[in-house]
Amino acid sequence: MELQQQKINRRQFLKTSGGIVLTAAGLGSAHGVETSDRGPDDLDMYDFLMPRVKFTHEKREVDRWNVRPGGDANLLRELSSVVRCKVKPVRRAYDWHPQWAAESQLNAVVTFDELRELEKYPFLFMTGENHYKLDGRQKATLREYILRGGFLLMDDCVVGDGGDFFYKSSYKLLEEVFGSGAVKSIPLQHEIFHNVYDLGETGLPYMQLLSPTFPPGIRRRRSVGLPHMHGQNHGARGIFIGDRLAVFLSSTDLHCGWCDSRGRTFGRHNYNKSIQMGINIIMYAISH
């Protein structure tokens, strides 16, 4: 099913989101968080922004928190086309270029250092390749943000023959923050697989390399044979706050799928499915 087959106009978008769109009230009016006094800014101009979470990897010389902004750009462009909402674009980025984003390219950048800044945004995106840790203050801020109504998408990026290190660190982090056993499997019946696109039969799309040609900036190691797997499919998992899914944890390289609009790495079908999953996640997040 092509992306353009399902359209929602702007009025339906605003109705569906129940007012939880990025306006001047932001997360505050939607979830009872007090907002600071400020002048007009991006939150007044756009219906949706997708902030990247800035954090520190243990291996700084390889993948970083700001990898492949073209994936963000593609998803936001497809979202604005399908849902007909006004999103702030990620500039000068398309598919696999550039490898790393300048902060000014992204439509927003946040950290878990200050809750006051996070309160502006009901949706955050975090991706990476390697192990990482948050300190005690950052963990407390993450917990408070989620409990106040925020949503976090965490997606593992597996490069070359690397392992699912970001996924493992994220899983451990969430269990530390929300308690042992807090990370749950998301059943195929959950509305996040059905709200805009029906992905209930397959669930979370899984990015598997179909071509022997790697994306720019990535070299194949000699020990790796074909077929080469990018994502490592642990299924969709997350944190539930009551009935609300508040954190979506993926190990299947959704973000890499968003980078592949020409279908040269994973195939056009997988690009479409990864975009559809991203749109479903965003629409669920801003309506709950």
> C-alpha dihedral over 165, 167, 168, 170, to 10 degrees?
120
Q: Which residue in 39, 41, 22 sits closest to 30, CA to CA?
A: 22
Q: Please, which pLDDT band fits residue 162 given cuts at 50, 70 and 90?
A: low
Cα–Cα distance, 237 to 82 (Å, whole number): 26
Q: Please, which pLDDT band fits residue 164 given cuts at 50, 70 and 90?
A: confident
Quote the percentage of the chain above a pLDDT of 70. 74
Do the Cβ atoms of 99 and 216 come closer than 8 Å?
A: yes
Mean pLDDT of the chain: 81
Q: How far lies 9's CA from each of 79, 137, 162, 196, 197, in Å?
A: 11, 41, 42, 13, 15
What is the SS3 assignment for 66?
A: coil
Instruction: Compute the average pLDDT of residues 259-267.
Output: 91
Cα–Cα distance, 49 to 86 (Å, whole number): 9
Phi-psi region of 227 (alpha: psi -120 to 50; beta: other; left: phi over 0): beta
Instruction: Compute the average pLDDT of residues 89-98.
Output: 93
Q: Is pLDDT above 90 for 225?
A: no
Q: What is the pLDDT of residues 30-64, one digit of tens each?
A: 333 333 333 347 878 999 999 999 998 766 555 58
Q: 65-76 burial string, b = 16+ CB within 10 Å, else e? A: bbbbbbbbbbbb
Query: Which of 17-31, 119-133, 139-153 is predicted with the least confidence, judged by mean pLDDT?
Result: 17-31
CB-count exposure of residue 287 (10 Å: 0-12, 13-18, 19+): middle
Q: Is pLDDT above 60 for 135?
A: yes
Q: Is pLDDT above 70 for 176?
A: yes
pLDDT (0 to 100) of residue 159: 64
Looking up tokens 């339906």 gives: 12
pLDDT (0 to 100) of residue 56: 85
Peptide bond into 51 cis (omega under 30): no
Looking up tokens 């398309």 gives: 94
Q: Is pLDDT above 60 for 17?
A: no
CATH number for position 215: 3.40.50.12140
Do the Cβ atoms of 251 and 167 come closer than 8 Å?
A: yes
Q: Is pLDDT above 80 for 230?
A: no
Q: Please, which pLDDT band fits residue 245 given cuts at 50, 70 and 90?
A: very high
The tokens of 134 are what?
Answer: 């948050």
Q: Is pLDDT above 50 for 132?
A: yes
Q: In total, how many domains does the chain have?
A: 1
Looking up tokens 């642990």 gives: 234
Query: Which of 32-41, 117-126, 132-141, 254-263 is predicted with the least confidence, judged by mean pLDDT?
Result: 32-41
Quote the percentage of the chain above a pLDDT of 90. 58
Q: Is pLDDT above 80 for 285?
A: yes
pLDDT (0 to 100) of residue 64: 81
Q: Is pLDDT above 80 for 203?
A: yes
Q: Which domain holds residue 78?
A: 3-286
CA 26-184-48 angle, to 5 degrees, is 20
Instruction: Compute the average pLDDT of residues 169-182.
Output: 97
Q: Which residue in 158, 104, 105 sits closest to 127, CA to CA?
A: 158
